[in-house]
Structures are given as C-alpha cells and as structure tokens.
Structure 1
Amino acid sequence: MPVATDRPDTRRAREPGTPPRPLVVLASIALAAGTGGAIWLLPPRAQGEWAVVGRRAGAGAPPSGTAPRPAAEPAPTPAVVRPSGFVAFVDAVHEPRFNLSKAARKSRVRWFTLGHLTAGRSGCVPRWGGLQGQRRNPVANRLGPLRAAGGDAGLAFGGPAGRELATACADLGRLTAAYRRAIDAFDARYIDFEVHAPAGDAAVRRRARAIATLQRQAAHEGRPLTVSFTLPVTGTGLTLGDQELLRATRAEGVEIATVNLLAPVGTSPGSGSRLHPIASAVRAAHPQIARSLGESAAWNRIALTPVLARSGDLTRLDARRLAAFTSRNNLAWLSARGAALAPGITRFLTGAAR
C-alpha cells in the first residue's frame, strides 16, 4: 500500500540526469562567495576600471593613466525661441536708465523688445534711433543680467522715426551684414521689423532676402532666429501694401513667426467700448494675415499691441478683458505701446497672459 504524504508526486519527480536540488543550492552559494572574494581582493585601481567598463558596456577600456571620456551625445535640436505671454516694449533711446533685470523682477515680465534700430548717416550702419552706436546704448548693454535671470529680449528694427535699413541701404550684401552685426552684437534670437511707411518693392524684396539669408545661416549654426513684423491695423485690418509685404517676404523664404498688430485704444469710456475697435481690427486682419502667410487659420501667429495715448487708457478691467480676448483667440502674445501702463497693470497682464 502506498505511503500517504502531504507533497504531490510532481514535487518529488526529477528529470533523469538532474542533480539533487540541495547540491545545486550549495554550488550557487559557493560560486557567489568566490566571486565576491575575488572582487574584494582586486586593488583599488582595478576596481575603478571595472566600474568604468561596466558603465560603458561594449566600449574598450581607456588607456592606462588616461581618464575615461564620456560617450559623445548628439547635438540637441535648438528650441524655437519666441516671445510669449506679455512682452514689454522698451524705447531704448528715450529710456536710457531702464533696468531690464530689475523690471523683470518687479513685474515678472520675461520677454522684452528693445527699439528702435534704424539707419545711420551712412545708410548701412544700424544705430539706436539712427544716431547712437550699437554698443553705446545702456539699456541693451544690460541684457546679460536679464538672461542670467531667465529672461530675454529681442531687437526691433524700423519704427515710427528714422529710415529703416532696407530703405536706406540699397546693397543686399551690406544690408545683410548690417542686420547680422546687430544680431551678433547682442546675441539676439528674436528680431522684429516695425514697418510704418510704405516702402518700394525693391526695398521689400531686399529686406526679405537679407532676412532669409540670416535665418538659413542661423539654422546651419544650430541656433534659432525668430522673426516677426509689427504693422498698424485699423477697423478694416491691414493695408493692401502691408498684406503684399507679408506675401513677398514669405515668397523669398522667410519664416514669419508672428505678425504683431498695433491697435490704438479708443477714447470712449466705460463698458469696454474702448476695446471694441481693437477686437474688430484683429478679426478683420486675421483672414488677411492667414492668406498672406499661406495658412487656413493664423490666430496663433497674431500678437496684439494696444497703443495708449494716456496711462489711464487701460484700466484693470480693460486689462482683464484684453487678457481674456488674447487667451480665447489663442493669440501669440500681448504687449502695449505709447503711454506707460498704470502701476500694477503690467504685473497683472504678465500673470494673466501666460
């Protein structure tokens, strides 16, 4: 009669030629102890090399007495650098004491635009306000602390006064070199072209070809160069000339990231009616910008810059409505020009327009 047991037959069964289980366990323990002892007995130098080889699997050991070199990593693709949130404009010519890093800490603004660089007497030399040398502007020379704190600033060419470089400099090579000189001087990754007066077709093409060359060179060097155009807007949108400017610039191969619309704030008080013309102007300009840039929709390629006649033209309620309009329509960013914003408005817009 078979003897009863609490273990099934499958637990007792063993394949032919397989050593008993207790023997296998003892052999494993002995092997681990022997390996650990051998490693412990190695000199410190040998242990270090063992660790390096272990970390660099598949790589040969470094020559004796030479520190191991880390494996080469592929160069990262440069991120697209462009303004976002609320962008503060600084008139670097008329506000020489403006402290970028201090303003960033106080208002929490991350992005600034510095203007304006226009043609000097020679026609092909960019100067602040057409008069001041590039390196002699105290505001632009304070970019270092701003960037160290995580902020940045772009350069604005053109503007309401002086001659834009493309109009004053008739030689394409010299024009390209002039733009590059300013970009390199301040290590700019974002540049804006503020166009007010209509320019001839030759100047438009010359500017576009210069910008396209700069963007190709920047891409070849692995650094971004974001380009925007700042244009005035009315209730009917952009002028036909500005629409053609955008189309011609794009046709020359320029990647236009943003079209920044300068829109004057109305004078009618109360009920947000002062902002109604701005909203109408942006809606009128949207299909024009989309067609000019070859897009079916271009809301995220539009930035909005209300122009204030007086500091009180933008109340806290107005600022709240502007921020809501920007967010609701997915606009690229928000800014302001003209009179200085009332205390606290800039900080509110910075937080609301993120």
Structure 2
Amino acid sequence: MNKILTLSPPGGQMVKWYPGRRLSWLRLGVVIAVVAALAGAGWYSLGYVQDRQEATERSPWFDAYVDVTATPTFEFESPESDGQQNVVLAFVVALKDNNCTPSWGGVYDLAEAERALDLDRRLARFTMQGGSAMVSFGGQANSDLALSCTDETKLRAGYEAVIDRYDQLSIDMDIEGELLANPEALARQARAIAQLQEERKGGDGLDVWLTLPVSTDGLSFDGLQAVRQYLGAGVELAGVNAMTMNLETAAGESMLPGILDSLEATQNQLRSLYQEVDVTMGEATAWSRISATPMIGQNDTRGDIFTLPDAAELSRFAADKGMSRMSMWSLNRDQQCGENWPDVRRVSDSCSGVDQTPGEFAKTLREGRPGSLTQIKGAVPGDSTTASVEDDPETSPYPIWSVDVAYPADTKVVWNRSVYEAKWWTQGDQPDLPSEAAAQPWRLLGPVLPGEKPVERPVIPAGTYPEWSKETVFTRGQRVIFEGVAFEAKWWTQGDSPDEALVQPQASPWRQLTDDEVAKIVVEK
C-alpha cells in the first residue's frame, strides 16, 4: 500500500503527495513558498500583537513640571477638582557647598526643604487628594550630583536619599548642559541608577525616564551617547522624554512641524539604539516610550512660540502615535503675563507670554490622558480617615490655633492635625471654616506628619539688646527686646509699642526679627 505524505501549512489544508507519482518541483516549490509565507505571517502577526500589548500596558497620562524653588511659590498641592493631578518636581542638584548632598535648586537640602518650603507636607497633602508626583534630577542650571560628586558610593547614596524620602517609584533624569557633554559623569550617574533599580526589582521597582534636548533631527550625538551609557549600564528605561523646545524656528512660523519632526526622528533613533544592544523594539512599543515636553508660550529663542493650537495638535499627534507620556514646562508659567510685564517676547518664569486663561495649556495637553503617575506609594501621612484630629502641642510642629491670638502674615499654626499659614493678618478666623470675607485668610499647607515635634525657635540671649522703653527715642536699625522678642526699628520712633507690628506690620515702625536672624545672632554670641 502506498503511503501518503502530507504537508500542513499553519491554518491551511493538507497537501498530499503520493509516492510513485511524478514529483513536480514547480508545485513543491509553490507549496514550500506558501508554507513559508503563512508561517512568516503567523510570526509577524504574533510580533504585532505583542508589540501592541507592550505599548498599551499603561493608560496614557499627562504630567507637568513644577519649579519648586521659583518665586512666587507654585501651589501644586492644591489643584482644583479638574486641575493637574500629575506633577514632576524640579530640580534636585548638588548642594552648593557640599558636592555629594542632594538639594533643591542648590539651596535647600532635603531637611531644609521640609522646613523652609514645607515640601514634605505639601506632597503629603497632594497625595491625599489623589495626586501623584515624581522628582526630576539635573536641569540646565546648577550642578547635577553626578557632575560634582566623584565618590560613587556617596553619589548613589545621594540619589537613594531622595528616592526613599519621597517614596519614588519613578524618577526623571534631566540631562542637559554641562552634564550632557561629560561622558565620565554620565557613566557615574548611569551606574548609580542601575544599582538602585536592580535593588528594587524584587519590590515596587523603579521607572527611569531620560529627559534630553532634541532638534528637528532628533537627539544630538551627546544625547545618543547618554542613552547608550544608560543601556550599557543595564538600566531598563521607561522611555526618553524629548525637550521639544528652542528649535530656532523662523520668526512668524509655527513650532509644530519642527516638534513633530523631532519626535519622529527620536522614535527612529530609539529603535536603533535598542537594536545596538540586540533588542528588537516594535513600532508601537517605541512610540509608547517617547514623551514630549514643550516649553509653553514664549521659548528662550525669540522666534519659538508654542501656542495653544500647537498644544491641541501635539496632543492629537501623541494620541495617534500611542505616546504614553506627555509633559510640559511648566505649571509655574501656565498663565497669561500681567500688564506690567514689559516684553512678552522675553521669557518669564511665572507666565507664558501668550494670551490664555490660567491652566489652559495643561488642560489642552492632558485631554484624553486619564492615567496617573502613581509614583507615591504606601499609606498617606496624616490621612484624615485613619488619623486622630486631636491637636497635641507635643506632636505639633507649630502652635495650636487660638481664637484669641492675632496672627500676622506668614504665621504657621496647627488646627485639626493640619498646618495652615496666614496669608495676611488675622484674628478669630478658624482655619478650616469658610470665611464670610471674600477670601480665606488661611492657606492649607498639609497634614501634620508622623513623628513631628514642635519647631524649636531660637531665643535671643539675655542682654543682647536693651529692653524697649516708651520714653526712649529709637532710630532706624536700632534693636530692642519686648516681652522676650527681638524687634528692629524701621524709622525714627518714640512711644510706639513693638507689639503693634504684629497687628499692623505696614504701619508699625517696628519689625520682628525672623528666626533665621535670631539664629545667626545666637551663633555669633
């Protein structure tokens, strides 16, 4: 009996070959080609599906940078109900007088940022309202930790201190300026981040975004080298965030075409960079790992103006391409400049330079992006659903609010386990109750944090200054002690009690010395 051999292409019908019959090589070739084509189609289909699955693992989100140390302070911790829920806090760099100590803006170390900026408390309040934040290291100004700290053990400890303090599941490495052109510093940074990421693999993990400048041709040579440094160190990148700004657009022309060109080029470069390390990245996956950060309104280069229509088009482009992340620089600038701003073509840290309503750029760019960073983990400090609201002077950083006490502007108090700051002189206005006035005199900073104790205020040593006397004439700059508190005369005065400065600070000839001034006097003594 003749045996029948069969060839079975994937998903196709049996092809039979009867021995003894003449074999047609042409027919066999056709069969083999069909089988190969169907198999290839199967593999292609599988790869396409996997690519799409990887690209849609996270719901698309929009975050926006906040310059933490800029003046005036941006109150990211109190977004409106439809406001910005994802923020990137910028920038952590080396402390000016200690190269391996992380700081905000080179000025505030982490402990000082808690005291002077109430940053920990504001972050706690933000997360209580469902917000999510990640920290950005580096930036154009100041000195990145990796540039100034050559001790790799201390460098790693510096990054780790920030990640642990703010419970970060994702970090943003803003690489530009001097750091971008320094391969040795970049290698130190990449090794430190790789070690920290490896340690966290068994837990919540650590996403790492590289934020890099781009041109219409995509990443520069130095930018490509930065990505290579990170991939070579073994860092698993969440993605590359392209700073689509300062593209030197011709005057009167839209920035948008240049921005889209820069993103197309960066996406192609990212796929090639992964190919260099023998990782094949699909089209959709690559787009999901590309983010754009435009500088809203007037850019540093005068010809570059990113408009609201540009923002709408960029948002649609990102959605069409499947870009998971979108950002902008910055929330501090997302408002129209006031009438007194002399030249809207000159960049401001606190306004965009274009006609807009407050928050309009953020609202436009986050359209259709419901996702969250969800970078802050664990129990929320001071969660009112579980924590006691009984105020205890022993565990409160500031005095408990009293209806009988007058509070000048900037005074901080505790009420119902939350910290408030007076926006102007006030007395009798309970911090957590609506005010009958047009505006509430208190600003909520956030909850009392676990483990807090009363803030120790420096005390002027006895005999440092003379006691105030009603009969004595005091001239500008003279200092006195009144009921244990130090005051300084703003102009000639006689008979004006210094405590009036607490009630009417503008009209009083006296001003109370700040805690910093008193502390300096104590040290000098």
Q: Same fold (TM over 0.5)?
A: yes
> Aligned Cα RMSD in Å?
2.4
Task: Name 1:245's counterpart in structure 2.
Answer: 226
Partner of 1:318: 310
Deviations 1:281-329 (A, max 9, x none): 1111111122223443411100001123539944442222111011011
Asked if structure 2 preserves the Cα contact closer than 8 Å seen for 1:307 and 1:337, the reply is yes
Task: Determine helix, strand or coil for the equivalent of 1:258.
Answer: strand
With over 3 angstroms needed to count, the CA separation of the structure-2 counterparts of 1:133 and 1:225, relative to structure 1, is: same
Q: Do residues 329 (structure 1) and 321 (structure 2) align?
A: yes
Task: Say which of 167, 171, 193 aligns to 2:173.
Answer: 193
- Whether 2:249 is the aligned partner of 1:233: answer no
CA pair 349-126 structure 1, distance change in 2 beyond 3 A: same
**1:274 equivalent in alignment to 2:265:** no
- Partner SS, residue 173 of structure 1: helix
Report whether the alignment pairs 1:169 with 2:141: no
Contact 1:92–1:139 (CA<8 Å) still a contact in 2? no
Query: 292, 303, 307: which one pairs with 1:304?
Result: 292
CA drift at 1:186: 1.1
When residues 184 and 201 of structure 1 are mapped into structure 2, their CA distance, relative to the original with a 3 A threshold, is same
Give CA deviations for 1:108-163 in whole Å, capped at 9, x if unaligned: 32211001111112210011111112233326321111112222111111001011
Percent of pairs identical after alignment? Answer: 29
- Tell me if the contact between 2:91 and 2:105 (Cα under 8 Å) persists in the aligned partners: yes
Residues 151-160 or 287-296, more deviating: 287-296
Change (3 A) 1:207 1:82: farther
Q: Is the 8 A contact 1:99 1:139 kept in 2?
A: no
| Residue number in structure 2 paired with 1:93 | 69
How many residues end up aligned between the 2 structures? 270
Contact 1:98/1:139, CA 8 A, preserved across alignment: no
Unaligned stretches of 5+ in structure 2? Answer: 1-56, 336-355, 371-525
- 1:243 shift after superposition: 0.6
Q: Is the 8 A contact 2:59 2:369 kept in 1?
A: no
Say if 1:85 and 1:350, in contact at 8 Å, map to a contact too.
yes
Separation in 2, partners of 1:255, 1:285: 18
Distance 1:106 1:267 in 2: 39
With CA pairs under 8 Å and 6+ residues apart, which has the higher RCO, 1 or 2? 1
How far does residue 82 in structure 1 lie from its aligned partner after superposition? 8.2
Shift of 1:333: 1.5
SS at match of 2:99: coil
| Gap change, CA 1:325 and 1:191, over 3 Å in 2 | same
> In structure 2, what is the equivalent of residue 5 of structure 1?
none
Q: Please list the CA deviations of residues 43-102 of structure 1 after superposition, one character each: whole Å capped at 9, or x if unmatched.
A: xxxxxxxxxxxxxxxxxxxxxxxxxxxxxxxxxxxxxx9894221110001046322232
CA shift for structure 1 position 179? 0.2
Report SS of the residue matched to 2:70.
coil
Contact in 2 for aligned 1:323/1:353 (Cα 8 Å): no
Q: TM-score scaled to structure 2, two decimals?
A: 0.48
Q: Any conservation in 1 of the 2:91–2:135 contact (CA below 8 Å)?
A: yes
Of 201, 220, 224, 1:219 maps to: 201
Instruction: Write 1 or 2 for the structure with the bigger share of helix.
Output: 1
Q: What residue number does 1:140 align with?
A: 119
Q: 1:149 to 1:94 in 2, by over 3 A?
A: same
- Aligned partner letter, 2:288: N
Distance in structure 1 (CA, Å) of the matches to 2:90 and 2:159: 14
Q: Distance in 2 between matches of 1:290 and 1:242?
A: 14
| Correspondences of 1:253-272 after superposition (within 5 Å) | 253-264=234-245, 266=249, 269=252
Tell me: CA distance 1:207–1:119, structure 2 relative to 1, closer, same or farther (3 Å): same
The one-letter amino acid paired with 2:334 is A
**8 Å contact 2:255–2:306 — kept in the other structure?**
no
Contact residue 94 and residue 101 of structure 2 kept, 8 A: yes
Whole-Å Cα distance in 2 between the matches of residues 83 and 176 of structure 1?
Answer: 31
Q: C-alpha separation between the residues in 2 aligned to 1:235 and 1:313?
A: 15
- For the 8 Å contact 1:261–1:304, the answer to whether it is kept is yes
Residues 92 and 128 of structure 1 are in contact (CA less than 8 Å); yes or no, is this contact kept in structure 2?
A: yes
The question of 1:155 aligning with 2:135 is answered yes
Matched residue type, 2:329:
R
Q: CA separation in 2, counterparts of 1:178 and 1:155?
A: 13
Residue 212 of structure 1 and its aligned partner are, at CA, apart by 0.9
Please give the alpha-carbon distance, in whole angstroms, between the structure 1 residues aligned to 2:61 and 2:102. Answer: 29
User: Would you say 1:209 and 2:191 are equivalent positions?
Assistant: yes
